[in-house]
Amino acid sequence: MVFELFSERMQKLIKDKGFIEPTLPQKMGIPDIISGKNVLIIAPTGTGKTEATCLPLFDKVSKESGKPISILYINPLRSLSRDLLDRLCWWADKLDLEIAVRHGDVGARERAAQREMPPHILITTPETLGAILPGKIMRQHLSNVKYVIVDEIHELVESKRGAQLSLLLERLREVAGNFQRIGLSATVGSPEEVARFLGENVKIIHAETEKEYKIKVETPSQTRRDKDISDELLIGIETTARLRRLYDLIQSHKSVLAFTNTRETAEILSSRLRALDKELKQAVHHGSLSKERRIKG
Sign of CA dihedral 80, 98, 185, 53: negative
Q: Do 40 and 142 sit in the same domain of this protein? A: yes
Q: Do 125 and 196 sit in the same domain of this protein? A: yes
Q: Is residue 218 in a domain?
A: no
122 exposure class (CB count in 10 Å sphere: 0-12, 13-18, 19+): buried
Q: Is residue 219 in a domain?
A: no
Distance CA 136, CA 145 (A): 15
Q: Do 228 and 202 sit in the same domain of this protein? A: no
DSSP one-letter string for 124-159: E-HHHHHHHTTSHHHHHHHTT--EEEETTGGGTTTS
Q: Is residue 112 in a domain?
A: yes
Q: Is residue 131 in a domain?
A: yes
Q: Do 200 and 239 sit in the same domain of this protein? A: no
Beta bridge partners of 40: 183, 204
The answer to whether residue 81 scores a pLDDT higher than 70 is yes
Domain boundary, last residue among 172, 206, 240: 206
Q: Do 192 and 286 sit in the same domain of this protein? A: no
Sign of CA dihedral 86, 92, 93, 97: negative
Domain count, the chain: 2
Q: Is residue 214 in a domain?
A: no
Q: Do 125 and 254 sit in the same domain of this protein? A: no
Least confident of 85-94, 135-144, 188-197, 254-263: 254-263
Confirm if 29 and 53 have CB atoms less than 8 A apart. yes
Q: Is residue 201 in a domain?
A: yes
Q: Do 120 and 83 sit in the same domain of this protein? A: yes
Q: Is residue 165 in a domain?
A: yes
Q: Do 169 and 256 sit in the same domain of this protein? A: no
Which residues span the domain enclosing 288? 224-296
Q: Do 195 and 94 sit in the same domain of this protein? A: yes
Distance CA 52, CA 36 (A): 14
Distance CA 55, CA 45 (A): 18
The phi, psi pair for 45, rounded to 5°, reads: -65, 140
- Please name the amino acid found at residue 231: D
Give 88's Cβ-side CA count (13 Å radius). Answer: 29
* pLDDT computed for residue 222 by the predictor: 87
CATH number of the domain where residue 109 is located: 3.40.50.300
How do residues 168-207 score in pLDDT, each as one tens digit? 999 999 999 999 999 999 888 889 999 999 999 999 999 9
How do residues 113-126 score in pLDDT, each as one tens digit? 888 999 999 999 99
Domain boundary, last residue among 178, 206, 234: 206
Q: Is residue 275 in a domain?
A: yes
Q: Do 106 and 164 sit in the same domain of this protein? A: yes
Confirm if 61 and 70 have CB atoms less than 8 A apart. yes
Domain boundary, last residue among 151, 172, 206: 206
Q: Do 172 and 271 sit in the same domain of this protein? A: no
* pLDDT computed for residue 291 by the predictor: 53
Q: Do 158 and 230 sit in the same domain of this protein? A: no
